[in-house]
Amino acid sequence: MNDDDLALAFELAADAAAISLSWSGGDVPVTLKADNSPVSEGDLEVDRTLLDILAEERPEDGVLSEESPERRGTSGRRWIIDPIDGTRQFVAGEPGWGNHIALEVNGEIVLGLITRPEDDLLWWAVKDEGAFRCGMDAPQERTHRLRLSSTTDLAGAIVSGYGPTEADVAAVRRVSTWQRRTPTLIPDFLAGEVDAMWLRGGKVWDYAPLAILTREAGGDVRSADGNRTLDEGRLICSNRALLDPLALAMYEAAAH
């Protein structure tokens, strides 16, 4: 990737945030998808706009979006998009929703952005360049560098997550402390206030920007089978000291 890719990612994030905000706080039309999850007109407008921009600016790149069939590319590069992550919160007028954008090159995530438009916040990371927090109106600002929690004691760690089962929570509580942090989980984790995230039920577009933000902030991710893939639906994000024991707990929970 190059600086033009980062500039384009910020453009996509700004457009996604502006469109999302134009729909928020009102009576947003919603339909149910085949899996019974909601999709709003806000999701669909963001999706159409970002796909149109990418078709013009990066016609050879692939695009994987939650709300559209995958567009195959010829460049070995793929943009991964969740037009509005947290649609249920978005349509209910609750906090905790945002936009997810990532760029994958030859199978590796090299760029990721997460927004919180209502809070005027953007988190972004580029491979080997670090992870940062800035305002939506100050893209590429590198003043606030992200550092994950430095906790090394698993017994004293605070873990939170999305979509856990009772077995998941029980598995965490056997080795550390579980705290409910929704809807502030991602900001709390990236600020080091939560030591680890235990995520269940997500897709690649949910996890891709989180993965590179975690790695560039000094941590790593593991799926339920112990590898780094993002398509299993279960993911641990933490600093490197806590990752292996938490991943073992996730593996054991998945086996039951």
What is the CB-side half-sphere exposure of residue 219 using CA atoms within 13 A? 33
Q: Quick count: other Cβ atoms within 10 Å of Cβ 193?
A: 15
Q: In CATH, which of 3.30.420.10, 2.60.40.10, 3.30.540.10, 3.40.1410.10 is domain 3-145?
A: 3.30.540.10
Supply 32's token pair: 């149910």
Write the single-letter amino acid at 75: S
Give residue-wise pLDDT tens across range 18-46: 999 999 987 899 999 998 999 999 999 99
At residue 41, the pLDDT reads 97
- The distance from CA 74 to its chain's CA centroid, rounded to whole angstroms, is 25
Q: Which one has a higher pLDDT value, 244 or 79? A: 79
For the chain, the domains span 3-145, 154-254
Give residue-wise pLDDT tens across range 194-245: 999 999 999 999 999 999 999 999 999 998 777 778 988 889 999 999 998 8
| Burial class for 212, CB neighbours closer than 10 Å (0-12, 13-18, 19+) | buried
Write the single-letter amino acid at 40: S
Q: Which CATH class is domain 154-254?
A: alpha beta
Is the pLDDT at 137 greater than 90, yes or no? no
pTM of structure = 0.95
Residue 53 Cα distances to 16, 42, 156, 248, angstroms: 11, 17, 46, 42
